[in-house]
Amino acid sequence: MSLYLDYNATAPLRPVALAAFEQAYAHTGNASSVHAAGRQARALVEDARQRIARAAGFSPAELIFTSGGTESNHLALTGLKVAARLTSSIEHESVLKNSAHAQRLPVTADGLVDLTAARALIAAAKRPALVSVMWVNNETGVIQPIAQLLGICREYGAYLHVDAVQALGRVALDVPVDLLTLSAHKVGGPLGVGALLVRAPLDVEPLLCGGGQERGRRAGTENVPAIHAFAAAVEAALADLPELQRRAAWRDAFEQRLLQVPGTVIIGQAAPRVANTSCFALPGFKSELQLMQLDLKGVAVSSGSACSSGKVTRSHVLTAMGLPAEVCNSVLRVSFGWKTAESELISCAEIWTELANSVIRKASGA
């Protein structure tokens, strides 16, 4: 048996993205060259720029291609010159480590940004301020109140950057935020390509200097095949969005099976969540032991973020939510997507409940 249920780490490459990659790779040409081959490469890049920008509610000139979500977050946080920065306490490490001196917006026990506290902190911040909050949490799947946060930012003259890496293809990107981070491989595109969208008249200073690529905002030869495939994956993900949202029923049924094991906790269950993510814990059944046992049975899941060099460490997200250590130390995340069958979730739940019940029996001496 082989069950891949770690889409929040990376999704399988979509056939349409692979076809687009191969199509672009068959053409030789640097997108900065003025000859015919270069112009053809440039046309592929600009076509992708238009398609992705349109999907995110920006104009093509506002999109900067990057190597992925981490670079885009770094560029947003360090490239926009502001007097103060504020981020939530549950952001991805690529935000937290690029805003070490930022004020942290607290979250509720459900994993939602505390809007009352956020308003007070944003109101008191030096102006202009940059607020950075992810749209969907990568560990819990909780959807943040982005529209309300944007309203607060507008009220106090602050800019709002949103890491939408886990939101693209899972919720409608229908709030006109100031800066938006996207990544291809979370929606079935290739690894190593992403985008930062910066709403005019704002602009960012480049991290990478050299050539004049990306209107001088990000030097380096464009990865034409990956960019072309990125656009194909984005459009496919948006077309699949209604079906994915209907699959919240799959997640709910999966969680009901887990809850048959006494002591099981569903993280963020009371908050709005994306349909494809379930974060749960059985206190006393350590995450690393669960991961190893599931892996031996051919089930690929995670214990949270996949961006910690393969380490299983206590989640700063769950800690910020105020969850006790015994929950934080036993959490797992199951995430699925375009290629998942409902039967795979059922199988995963059956395997996990068997393992969990075995742990309970051993603990009770039965």
Of the pLDDT bands very low, low, confident and very high (cuts 50, 70, 90), residue 366 is: low
- Number of C-beta neighbours around residue 160 at 10 A: 24
Calculate mean pLDDT across residues 349-357: 96
Average model confidence (pLDDT) for the chain? 94
pLDDT for res 144: 98
273 three-class SS: strand
**pLDDT score for 311:** 53
Cα 128 to Cα 197: distance, rounded to the nearest angstrom: 19
**Residues 347, 222 share a domain:** no
Q: What is the pLDDT of residue 309?
A: 41
Q: What is the mean pLDDT of residues 244-271?
A: 97
| Pair 247, 218 in one domain | no
Candidate list 153, 209, 279, 307, residue with the active-site label: 307
Q: Does residue 314 share a domain with residue 192?
A: no
Same domain, 117 and 136: yes
Do 181 and 249 belong together in one domain?
Answer: no
- Would residue 348 show up in a list of annotated catalytic residues for this protein? no
Task: Reduce the DSSP state of residue 54 to 3 states and report it.
Answer: helix
Residue 93 sits in the same domain as residue 163: yes
Give the end of a domain, one of 240, 267, 290.
240
Supply the pLDDT for residue 307. 52
Residue position matching structure tokens 């920065």 = 85
Q: pTM for the full model?
A: 0.94
- Joined tokens for residue 194: 């992403």
